[in-house]
Chain A
Amino acid sequence: MWFAVTLVVLAVGFRQAIFLVPTEATMGNVQRIFYYHLPSAILGMVFPYINCVASLAFLYWRRRDPWKALGADALAVASAEMTVVFVTIGLLTGSLWAKPAWGIWWAWDARTTTYLVLWLLFVSYLIARRFSGANDQGHTLAAVISIFAAIDVPISFMSIRWWRTQHPSPVFGGDGSLDASFYPAVWWNLAGWALWGFLVMGLRYALERRRQRVQEEAALEAIEASMETTQ
């Protein structure tokens, strides 16, 4: 049901973005990249907070309540992967838009650099988990990285307000205000990709929980087998 609603909202968003909202006067049709760039860029700053809360819960429960800690850990990895997907899309679509709009693929300004750092932190997070296997220390290290990543998010978000950047100022409010005729494409796509993000994160969470149960059962079977051989 959620999947069907998500696809309908995304279809409406696509129709709004490509066919219905007026063409932007300066940049022309290439500006329509914005309707996919903005939702991904925003959601790439939302999922790190889910990851941070889940990581803090993991750190709190890992000695007190291991079963709850595993649940928090599953949510942490699901939200971290979702972050990497959204931030990657934010960087890619931003670059594809930057070339026709600015004449350059990339600018080392405060927004793009802090956003790239966010991507690097979450890739480091996933690498730390991947190469530690089921090792608790690796997951603890990853949880600490996630706290650093959460600190980078508000810096990246505020960078276009704090510093002069190549990246435009906020489009809602301020000097760079977006005309109201463009709003439908923005809101439909933001809603659609948010629904998609939470749905996919939920599916990834369920997958991780299943993997944890399989691993637990295998460990119990191994203990039982070793007890049988010693008897």
Chain B
Amino acid sequence: MTLHSFFSLANSSYPHNLFYAYSAVWILQGGYLAWIARNWVRSGRRHD
């Protein structure tokens, strides 16, 4: 499989679903990690 077909499966009825699925995983996991990091920094300021 080529990198181009990862973004668009030209012969599929749902050409972007593979890209959407992988993006959803990274957005949700990355977003949750970023939320933890943001609260860690905030609670550190409150702690000081």
Spell out A's residues near B (CB within 8 Å): 14, 18-19, 23, 28-30, 32-33, 36-37, 40, 81, 85, 88-89, 92-93, 96-97, 99-100, 196, 200, 203-204, 206-207, 210-211, 213-214
Contacts and interface: CB of A to CB of B under 8 A. Distances in A.
Contacts of B14: 30, 96, 99-100
Contacts of A211: 39, 43
29 contacts: A14-B22, A18-B6, A28-B9, A29-B1, A29-B9, A32-B1, A33-B21, A36-B22, A40-B25, A81-B32, A85-B28, A85-B29, A88-B28, A89-B28, A92-B28, A96-B14, A96-B17, A96-B21, A96-B24, A97-B21, A99-B17, A100-B13, A200-B32, A210-B40, A210-B47, A211-B39, A211-B43, A213-B47, A214-B43
A39 to B, nearest CB: 9
A13 to B, nearest CB: 11
Contacts of B33: 200, 203
B26 to A, nearest CB: 9
A81 B24 CA distance: 17
Contacts of A200: 29, 32-33, 36
Contacts of B6: 18, 29
Interface in B1-48: 1, 3, 5-6, 9, 11-14, 17-18, 20-22, 24-25, 28-29, 32-33, 36, 39-40, 43-44, 46-47
Contacts, number: 83
10 closest cross-chain pairs (CB), A and B: A33-B21, A93-B21, A96-B21, A100-B14, A96-B17, A36-B25, A92-B24, A29-B9, A210-B43, A203-B36
Given A96-B21, A99-B17, 13 more contacts: A29-B18, A30-B17, A32-B18, A37-B21, A40-B25, A81-B32, A92-B28, A200-B29, A200-B36, A207-B40, A207-B43, A210-B40, A211-B43
Nearest to B44: A210
Nearest to B9: A29
A51 B36 CA distance: 18
Nearest to B16: A96
Contacts of B1: 18-19, 23, 29, 32
Contacts of A88: 28
Contacts of B25: 36, 40, 89, 93
A100 B12 contact: yes
